[in-house]
Amino acid sequence: MCVESCASGTYAEPSTCTCDSCDSTCNTCSCGTSDCCESCSPDYLWRNTCISPCPDGEYANTVTNTCDNCMSQCATCTNNYECTKCPDENGDGVYDSYLYQKDCIDCPTRYYGDDASGTCKPCDVTCETCTGGSDS
């Protein structure tokens, strides 16, 4: 390599033996295009590209400025242990698990899975179990 090191925002270009600028979206990079990013700010590193927001199934890690995977049971999340939406596996509006206290689970006693919202909702107070919010 022709140059020892390059400043942040530049990379060593072997063909010219110079430090050339990274793509404007990258803090640090290994080449001059937007798909060679190694770090980002204020956006988040995802598959060597700086993006915001992170895609579904990943969350914005504000410590590392990366998009990190949600727990496997989450469709979307705010961090590695708090789901904000559960997956609708078949895309048919019927959920396998429902959002309850920031986790995707089978709804507990006295709650039912509401397919319209994908969340656990309380049964009527007169019911031990239910399929909807009324006294049915």
pTM of the complete model: 0.78
8-state DSSP, 33: S
What is the tens place of the pLDDT at every residue in 1-30?
Answer: 578 888 989 999 888 889 999 999 999 999
Give the total number of structural domains in the chain: 2
What is the tens place of the pLDDT at every residue in 35-44?
Answer: 899 999 899 9
Label the pairing between strands 10-13 and 66-69: unpaired
Residue 3 lies in a domain: no
Widest distance between CA atoms in the chain? 78
Taking residue 24's Cβ as centre, other Cβ atoms within 10 Å add up to 8
**36 three-state secondary structure:** helix
Residue that is last in its domain, among 29, 51, 69: 69
What is the tens place of the pLDDT at every residue in 100-118?
Answer: 999 999 999 999 999 999 9
Residue 132 lies in a domain: no
Q: How far apart are the first and last CA of the chain?
A: 74
Looking at the structure, do residues 27 and 58 belong to the same domain, yes or no?
yes
Taking residue 75's Cβ as centre, other Cβ atoms within 10 Å add up to 18
Looking at the structure, do residues 59 and 80 belong to the same domain, yes or no?
no
